[in-house]
Amino acid sequence: MINITLPDGSVKEFESGVNGLDIAKSISNRLAKDVLSVTVNGEIWDLKRPIESDASIKLNTWDDRDGKEAFWHSSAHLMAEAIETVYPDTKFGIGPTIENGFYYDVDLPEGKTITEKDLEKIEKKMVELARQKNDIVRIDVSKTDALKRFEEIQDPYKLELISNLEDGTITLYNQGAFTDLCRGPHLPNTSYIKAIKLLSVAGAYWRGDEKNKMLTRVYGITFPKAKMLTEYLHQLEEAKKRDHRKIGKEMELFTFSQKVGQGLPLWLPKGAQLREALENFLKRVQKRFEYDQVITPHIGDVNLYKTSGHFQKYGKDSFQPISTPQEGEEYLLKPMNCPHHCELYRFKPRSYKDLPVRMAEFGTVYRYEQSGELHGLTRVRSFTQDDAHIFCRPDQLKEEFLKVIDIIFIIFKALDFKDYTAQISLRDPSNTEKYIGADENWEKAESAIIEACEEKGLNTVTELGEAAFYGPKLDFMVKDALGRSWQLGTIQVDYNLPERFDLTYIGADDKHHRPVMIHRAPFGSMERFCAVLIEHTAGKFPLWLTPEQVVILPISEKYNDYAKKVSNYLNICDIRSIVDDRNEKIGRKIRDNELKRIPYLLIVGEQEAENNTVSVRRQGEGDQGSKTMEEFASFISAEVRSQLGSIYE
């Protein structure tokens, strides 16, 4: 008999060899129907894989990411089986799950292609195969046998993958007539997959290397219920309407240029205003919390990043060093700001009375991303972080951590992000070579984060293996208006960089002590944050943030001068306004400017010019009556204050 510990701490006794599905059945028939995978001692397993010793488990349903992983992983295999059926002699690369769904990279027989038009016939074949209810069976084989299996079918991609694996047991999975190299986990059988949609086709180099062959990548998504697929496709259509690349072009916020380079965004005047408003907002918040603004260069000596450990960890993913033959030096485009801030801390001796030291910078950094991975503003090669680093005494750590959480809450409130989860990202104890620093420091840092979250009463989830290489972190996962989850805001505790840079302060005992470092970026990157914000609001930003808050519409050319007078007055009052003096009918002007998502439209004609007033229209709400210029300016200022709330207190 073995003891199985459930997530609520209760322990149940089972015979050795019990599996996740059996355990689910012992709890309830409903759970047995819904469960998709089982997490055993932190590792995701197939439901039918025998558990032969005492273990802590979690039964994963569709509501759990680990449940979706098994569902979509099995769906990728089902799609591969369908492709092999429709296109015999296809060779297969990799077929992982992604945030929403899965893909498979395939090498089609010579002369064969898959286009968007071909997806429907592959979908139909997937439905047919799913209804066969074929068991998905795990097969343990030796490396020699695995190589022999794929040599027989002459699949060079699987042979390359197997050759890179260590000697020992290798797992294959079989369903029907299809067998694939895979670690799993998978569903018990194909019948779980009810609703299928293949979404797109793209090209992808094998293993992401441009020197390798271009394969065909097919993307898809599946669900256990048809209703879920219908809802997802509706959400997808809404997402297309809200695509930040589309809205960014319509609102003239940003652009890209092949001559400038891929992944290097160019901010147009309105986009620059948007960013400036966000930066000024955060600077105001930071001033309340006693941060000091600093500025550091866009490059640094490569030895700076070797000292921090970033070069060893991420050097291959950075732009390669810039050499200066005449001086024998090597510089790197700045991949992160923290090493520079460590050097700023070292500028002068510090006393325990000087701490905490809080440095903030909107620092632009550069990281090489493969061209195929670039996507609008969400994945770029140059981005600006709203970075700050706090150097504090160990006894100040929790208080400072709690203050950073307060800053993030202020931002979420001002931008109407209400649905979020705090993710505690810890190191993976089974893979400690990924990280630097002593176990003792990691334990102290992880405890501080957990205690702070408990004190704030945050809704948290814990993820092992998601820590930064130098310390654990707290990531805020925010759901947007379409229910999609984004990481916005991160706080990291670091005992290691202060050691690597030999940072100290003089304590009350006149001895040298090591400060603790907190890395903090509430927005994360300005580019990615703006992309999320555009899609969350569909470009209808809160009044305090929108680049053009007011447009003045003269009903004829005779009132252009009065319109400019109103605009000048509002601009003096720090209200961003423009004049639409085109020779168009007023109805056309109203329609055009509402499409531009400008919150307030002021119509001026003979009566308004005589009475020094404006006729007010609110975006999407119509006529709001007449106001004097002074009344309207006060009205706008009051609305901005109500949106920003405690920032002005």
Tell me the catalytic residues. 338, 367, 385, 387, 389, 473, 519
Report which secondary-structure segment, H or E, holds 201.
strand 195-205
Name the one residue in this structure whose structure tokens are 């009556």: 625
- Counting other chains too, the contacts that 8-16 makes at CB distance below 8 Å and 24 or more residues apart are 14/51, 16/50, 16/51, 16/52, 16/53
Residues 305, 338 contacting (CB under 8 angstroms):
no
Q: At what angle do helices 65-86 and 119-130 cross, to 10 degrees?
A: 110
- The pairing of strands 55-60 and 2-5 is parallel
Residues 134, 175 contacting (CB under 8 angstroms):
yes
Q: At what angle do helices 269-288 and 397-414 cross, to 10 degrees?
A: 140
Residues 157, 107 contacting (CB under 8 angstroms):
yes
Largest CA distance in the chain: 92
On the question of a cis peptide bond just before residue 185, with omega within 30 degrees of 0, the verdict is yes
The token pair that represents 597 in the structure block: 């998502």
Report which secondary-structure segment, H or E, holds 340.
helix 338-345
Residues 594, 622 contacting (CB under 8 angstroms):
no
Q: What angle do CA 216, 217, 218 make, to 5 degrees?
A: 115
Residues 14, 5 contacting (CB under 8 angstroms):
no
Q: SS3 for 280?
A: helix
User: What stretches of 450-515 adopt beta strand conformation (E)?
Assistant: 460-464, 473-479, 485-494, 505-506, 512-513
The token pair that represents 62 in the structure block: 């569709």
| DSSP one-letter code for 94 | -
Give the DSSP per-residue string, 1-68.
-EEEE-TTS-EEEE-TTB-HHHHHHHH-HHHHHH--EEEETTEEE-TTS-B-S-EEEEEE-TTSHHHH
Burial of 470 (0-12, 13-18, 19+ CB in 10 A): buried
CA atoms of 527 and 264, how far apart (whole Å): 10
CA atoms of 24 and 45, how far apart (whole Å): 14
CA 263 to chain centre: 17
User: What stretches of 82-154 adopt beta strand conformation (E)?
Assistant: 91-92, 97-98, 101-107, 137-142
The token pair that represents 308 in the structure block: 């921090």
- Identity of the amino acid at 567: S
**Can you list the alpha helix ranges (DSSP code H) found in 184-298?**
226-242, 244-250, 269-288
Report which secondary-structure segment, H or E, holds 618.
strand 613-618
Q: In what order do the strands lie in the sheet with 178-181?
A: 137-142, 169-175, 178-181
Q: Which of 379, 357, 361 has the alpha carbon at shortest distance from 370?
A: 379
Neighbours of 124 (CB within 10 A): 13
